[in-house]
Amino acid sequence: MTNEIKSATSVVTTNESTTVDNKNYDELIREFHRFWDVFPGIARLITKNHRILASNSIAAEKGFVEGAICAQVGTGPNAHRKCKLNKMFADKVGYTDRVLGDRVRGWVPVEGYDDVCVHFTVMIPESED
């Protein structure tokens, strides 16, 4: 685990707002849900410190819930292997990979927010004949 993952991040959620380190993300979270709740895979809105701000229902069912550290959730020791989150923030461009043969992972920066990204995983369907 990196020091960045261990760093303290204060997440405060009330009925009215979500604040991380005194920065309000309410509008961004609403927009995330507007676009990503219908995504046919796992989608989560994540801070630079790997803290989950929001997730779609598929991600939440897998344990990726608001306030959790994304790298501490998953299905085994290789679930977060070769994570490109830090690279995406450093380069300010999106990345995808296919570490596991049956899924594609992606990290996408969010315009106007240099400390937040969307991280998604989508299963590759079997070919339809």
Cβ burial 36-75 (10 Å sphere, 16+ → b, else e): beebebbbbbbbbbbbbbbbbebbbeeebebebbbbebee
Average pLDDT over residues 3-15: 37
Type of residue numbered 22: N
As a whole number, the mean pLDDT across the chain is 83
The answer to whether residue 17 scores a pLDDT higher than 80 is no
CATH number for the domain formed by residue range(s) 3-123: 3.30.450
pLDDT at 9 over 50: no
Give the predicted TM-score (pTM) of the model: 0.78
Percentage above 90 pLDDT, the chain:
61
Yes or no: say if 17 and 9 are a contact pair by the CB < 8 Å rule.
no
Domain ranges within the chain, ordered by starting residue: 3-123
Task: Give the pLDDT confidence score for residue 23 in this predicted structure.
Answer: 72
Which pLDDT value is given to residue 18?
Answer: 63
CB contact at 8 A, 97 and 122: no
Residues 82-95, mean pLDDT to the nearest whole number = 94
How high is the pLDDT of residue 39? 97
Q: Is residue 52 a contact partner of residue 68, using CB atoms and an 8 Å limit?
A: yes
Provide the pLDDT confidence category of residue 21 given band limits of 50, 70 and 90: low
Coil, strand or helix: which one is 22? Answer: coil
pLDDT tens digits for range 35-71:
999 999 999 999 999 999 999 999 999 999 999 998 8
